[in-house]
Structure 1
Amino acid sequence: MTEAEFRALALGLPGVVEHAEQDHPDYRVGGKVFAQLGYPEASWATLWLPADAQEDIVAACPGAFRPSPGDAAGHTQVHLSEAPHPRVREALIAAWRDKAPRRIRDHFRD
């Protein structure tokens, strides 16, 4: 997974906008952040996942995903070069669904 692929996946979800915060692009739906690129380092991304989704994705692919140390429940770091495309897509959709307004979420079919 590259940064460009991550960005394309995030922006391909309905209602998503990219915003720059603290020199790192983040991805928002309905004004709520669900993903950030380039944090904690350039080759990483962070997702705001529901706790149960975080547990599943980390267990399925521990070399690519890990809980963010010291952060709120669900914040999950993604090592992009280690992360398989289908797993990142799955995780991005889970993070997006958790933050998307119902009017947008209800019409999305993955």
Structure 2
Amino acid sequence: MVSIETFRKIALSFPETTEEPHFEKTSFRVKKKIFATYDGLNKRACIKLSEIDQDVFASANRSTIYPVDNKWGKQGWTMIEMKKVNKDLFTDALTAAYCEVAPKKLVEQIRPNGSE
């Protein structure tokens, strides 16, 4: 299980990340682009992944990480059940989401030379 406090700590550790409201959710953004949201009522995160990353992370456990069930899911938006996910898997997925949205110069600060 990953708490909102842990989610926040990881997300805000990425360069130039801000936390802002997004409707009834909390969003985490880089350069005004959302890479993750948190739904406190349902204890779910929604992150933006590439199609390949979405498939890889969902293959770990489809009851924990799965595409949003509509056109947004086909664009990489992926749900994470916070009560079920372990911290390491969540950290890797959130890092991938940040890297999907952030400018290259910021990605290089956390993944030098494009390393995974």
Same fold (TM over 0.5): yes
Which residue of the partner structure matches residue 92 of structure 1?
94
Q: What's the secondary structure of 2:5's corresponding residue? A: helix
Q: Secondary structure at the match of 1:37?
A: strand
SS state at 1:82 partner: coil
Q: Which moved more, 1:46-55 or 1:64-73?
A: 64-73
Give CA-to-partner distance per residue, 1:81-103, whole Å, 9 cap, x none.
10010010000000100111112
Greater fraction of residues in helix: 2
Q: Please list, as runs of the form range in 1=range in 2, the aligned pairs for 1:7-22 lying within 5 A after superposition.
A: 7-22=8-23
Residue 35 of structure 1 corresponds to: 36
The one-letter amino acid of 2:38's match is L
Equivalent residue, structure 1, for 2:110: 108
Q: Please report how far the alpha carbon of residue 42 of structure 1 lies from its aligned counterpart in structure 2 after TM superposition.
A: 2.8
1:69 counterpart = 2:72:
no
The runs of 5 or more residues in structure 1 that have no matched partner are none
Distance in 2 (CA, whole Å) between partners of 1:97 and 1:80 is: 21
Q: Which runs of 4+ in 1 moved over 3 A?
A: none
Give the aligned length: 109
Supply the distance in 2 between the matched residues of 1:12 and 1:60 (Cα, whole angstroms).
25
**Residue 56 (structure 2) aligns with:** 56
Amino acid at match of 1:99: V
Which residue identity does 1:21 align to in structure 2?
H
Measure how far apart 1:71 and its partner are: 3.5
CA RMSD of aligned residues (A): 1.5
Q: State the TM-score, normalizing by the size of structure 2.
A: 0.87
Supply the distance in 2 between the matched residues of 1:98 and 1:27 (Cα, whole angstroms). 13
Equivalent residue letter for 1:88: F
